[in-house]
Chains A and B, each alone.
Chain A
Amino acid sequence: MNEKDIKFIGKITAGVTHELNNVLASIREISGLMTDILSITDEKSFPRKEKFQTSLGKIQNQVQRGVKLTSQLNKFSHLTDNYKNDIDLNELLEHLIFLTERFARIKNVALQNQSINQTITINTDPLRLQMALFNCISYLLNQTVIGGEISISPEKKGKECLVSITYKGEGINKLSIFKDSTSSDELLSLKSTMENLNGVYELDASNTAVIIKIQSNK
C-alpha cells in the first residue's frame, strides 16, 4: 500500500468518525432533554419514572463510551496526515494502549503503560511506529496461552528512542521466539516496518523484554 492509499483511508475514516460523533452528540442532547423533562415531572403523573431515569443514564454512559471510541479512531486516522511528524511518545503509547486493549482483554492480558513524567518528543513516521508497536504486542498476545501482563516503557538515550515491551506471565516461556522473524506475519511486518523507520528491534540481555529502537531527529 502506498502513501496515497494510506492517506485515502485516513481521510475517509476521519470524515466518518466526525459524522459518528455528530450522531452521538445528538443522542446525548435528546436523552439529556428527556432527563431534563423527567426531572421536572411529578412522580405520580409518570409511572415508572425511576426506571426511565436509570435507562436514560445508561444511554448516556454508552454515548460517552462511543464518543471515546470515535475520538480515538479519529485520532488514529490523523496519523496518516503527515509522513513525518514531531510526536509526543508518551501520548502515542497511551493511544496505542487504548487501541490494543480489546485484543489484550480477550487473552486476559493486562496492558501497562509505564510512561515517565518526562516528555519525549520524537520526529518520525507516527503511523509506522504505531504499527511496529502494535505488531510486537499482537505477536506476544498470539503466543500467549492466556493471562499475564505486558508493560510498555519509553526511554530516550541521546538521539535514540527506545520502547521496551516486557511480558510477565506463564503464557510465554522465552521471548527468544522473537529471534525467528520468519515465524509469523506479525514479525515479518514488524521487521519491514522497522526497516522503514530506520530502526531495529532486539531482545534485551536477559531475554525478558523486546526493545524497539529508532532514531529521532529531535
Chain B
Amino acid sequence: MEKIKILLVDDEKEFVETLSERIRMREHDSDVALNGEQALKKMDDDLPDVVVLDLKMPGMDGMEVLRRIRKAYPKVQVIMLTGHGSEKDEEEAKKLGAFEYLEKPVEIETLMKKVKKAYKSKFESSMMAATFAEAGEFDTAKEIRDSDEEQDEINKDKKKSK
C-alpha cells in the first residue's frame, strides 16, 4: 500500500490531532496545521499529496486557503471538511477546484476512501496524456505533459530556494 502524505488543516486542536493520529495508525503520513497561514507555510516546506481543509477558521478562511493552494500547487488535491456548510459554500469550493466537500463529523473510513481517490486523481493527468498520445493526438498529449513538467519545475525551484 502506498503511503499518502496528508495535511489536515483545522483550528479545532483536539479534533485534528486525534484525526491525525488515527490516520497514522492506518499507515499514512499525516501532519497538522491549526490555521491557513500555518498550512501554506508547511506546504512550502514539504508538499503533501492531499490536504483536508476546514472552511471556517480564524484568520485566513478555508476558501482563501483553497484558492491559494490551487494557484500555487495545482497538483495537490484538497478535500473540504466542514460542519454545517451551505450549498453556496459547496458550490464555491467546487468551483475553486476542491476535490470533495464533506460534512463534519465524517467516518474515518469514508474520509480515507476520498483521500485515496484524491491521491489517485493526481496521476490522472499523466494517464490522460498517454491516452491522447496513443490516439495519435500528440499536440494535446504534449500540452498536458508540458503543463505537468512546468509545475514540477516550479515546485523543485521552491524547494531549492529554501
Could you tell me which A residues sit within 8 Å of B by CB distance? 14, 17-18, 21-22, 24-26, 28-30, 32-33, 36, 63, 67, 71, 74, 78
Query: A78–B22 Cα gap in the complex (Å)?
Result: 33
Q: Name 9 A/B residue pairs within 8 A (Cβ), A-sorted.
A: A14-B84, A22-B12, A24-B105, A29-B105, A29-B108, A33-B21, A33-B22, A63-B105, A74-B84
Number of residues from B at the complex interface, CB < 8 A: 15
The yes or no answer to B83 lying at the interface (CB within 8 A) is yes
Query: A14–B83 Cα gap in the complex (Å)?
Result: 11
Give chain B residues whose Cβ lies under 8 Å from the Cβ of A32: 18, 22, 108
The yes or no answer to B1 lying at the interface (CB within 8 A) is no
Query: Do the beta carbons of B25 and A30 come within 8 Å of each other?
Result: no
**Given A22-B15, A33-B18, do A67 and B84 touch, yes or no (CB 8 Å)?**
no
Query: Do the beta carbons of A26 and B14 come within 8 Å of each other?
Result: yes
B18, B56, B86, B108: the one contacting A30 at CB < 8 Å is: B18
Query: Do the beta carbons of A29 and B84 come within 8 Å of each other?
Result: no
B19, B21, B104, B108: the one contacting A22 at CB < 8 Å is: B104
Please name the residue on chain B nearest to A34 by beta carbon.
Answer: B18
Query: Do the beta carbons of B83 and A25 come within 8 Å of each other?
Result: yes
Give chain B residues whose Cβ lies under 8 Å from the Cβ of A18: 56, 83-84
Query: Do the beta carbons of B105 and A28 come within 8 Å of each other?
Result: yes
Which residues of B3-37 have CB atoms within 8 Å of chain A's CB atoms? Answer: 12, 14-15, 18-19, 21-22, 25
